[in-house]
A = this chain, B = another copy of it.
């Protein structure tokens, strides 16, 4: 398909999508996040083609999102674990899941719930301002060119 590469754009969104923007990547990340860490487990859970799964895992590992770790030498067995960089990517999943819960769950209710370690309650994320701690949503901000703006694009 000779797909356009996003990595060279002067845009943090495009550059992030270059890493996890391909179909399946976020779902693979989700599986590893919740503890589905082995090749065959992920393949069975998602129903993804083995070929595509192998490609994605290799790509994510080469971008330091995942680490391929041997947990048994004989027979050689591997699992994939998140790096710190990869764990921070999962923050995005939390926000994606919240939108899906709000807009696509229907009367059945959300498929999963999130329990917050700090307070022990079933909760959801709020987006707040790092400075004033008030809600900070997409509709609450102005977007301005920053120092890395080669071209005036986001």
A residues apposed to B, CB below 8 Å: 1, 3-4, 6, 10-17, 19, 21-23, 26-27, 30-31, 33-34, 45, 47-48, 85, 87-106, 108-119, 121-150, 153-154
Contacts and interface: CB of A to CB of B under 8 A. Distances in A.
Is chain A's binding surface mostly helix, strand, loop or mixed? mixed
Given A23-B21, A127-B127, A100 B15 contact: yes
A8 B48 CA distance: 14
User: How many copies of this protein are present in the complex?
Assistant: 2
Given A90-B138, A129-B119, A113 B145 contact: yes
B12 A112 contact: yes
Contacts of A95: 91-92, 95, 127
